[in-house]
Amino acid sequence: MNRADYLLLISAAVALTFSAAYYFQPPAPRYYPVEHAWKMEHEKGVPSMGWYGRTAWGLAAGTAAGALTALGLLAVPRDANGHPRRLPAWLGTSLSLLVLVVLVALAAQIMHHEFHKWGTYQPWQLPGS
């Protein structure tokens, strides 16, 4: 596979898989900073952090997808003239567009979810104002 297409496909695989894992949030341990403990349960009323586990899932899934894509593409044979194969231009463009749309959509979904949940869309009032 041509080097540019090879790296484009790996980048796309990492970004799309990371995004999917981050969005679907497979079960992961939460960190309880006051107790210095990791637990699978989400105990209400106690400060805990699910971000480490969620990010670790995204990184693990993205890394696995990138490595599998890299290995898989190494097996693609050269063309009849002995040149590395190239991705059709339309496919490279479509894939690039898909990656960008997915990342922007996920960022917007996260922001809307958090702003709605915590009242950030409401006027920002400070205590005593």
Partner 1 sequence: MLVFESMAKPLLFAHFISGVIILATLVHLIWRAVDYLRGRAGQRLNVWLHAVVLAIGYAVCFVTGAMVYPTFRVRVRADHFDQAIPWATGLFETKEHWASLGLPAVLGVLLLASVLARTEADDRRRVLPLLLGLAVISLGIVGYNVWAGWYLTTLHGI
Which residues would be at the binding site for partner 1 (CB under 8 A)? 2-5, 7-8, 10-12, 14-15, 18-19, 22, 31, 33-34, 36, 47, 49, 51-52, 54-55, 58-59, 62, 89, 92-93, 95-97, 99-100, 103-104, 106-107, 110-111, 114-115, 117-120, 122, 124-127
Rounded least distance, CB 42 to partner 1, Å: 14
**Contact criterion met (CB below 8 Å) for 103 and 15:** yes
Q: What's the count of helices (H) and strands (E) in the chain, helices before strands?
A: 3, 2
Closest distance to partner 1 from the beta carbon of 44 (Å): 12
**CA-wise closest residue to 56 among 12, 26, 88, 86:** 26
CB 1 within 8 A of CB 73: yes
Residue with smaller CB distance to partner 1, 37 or 80: 37
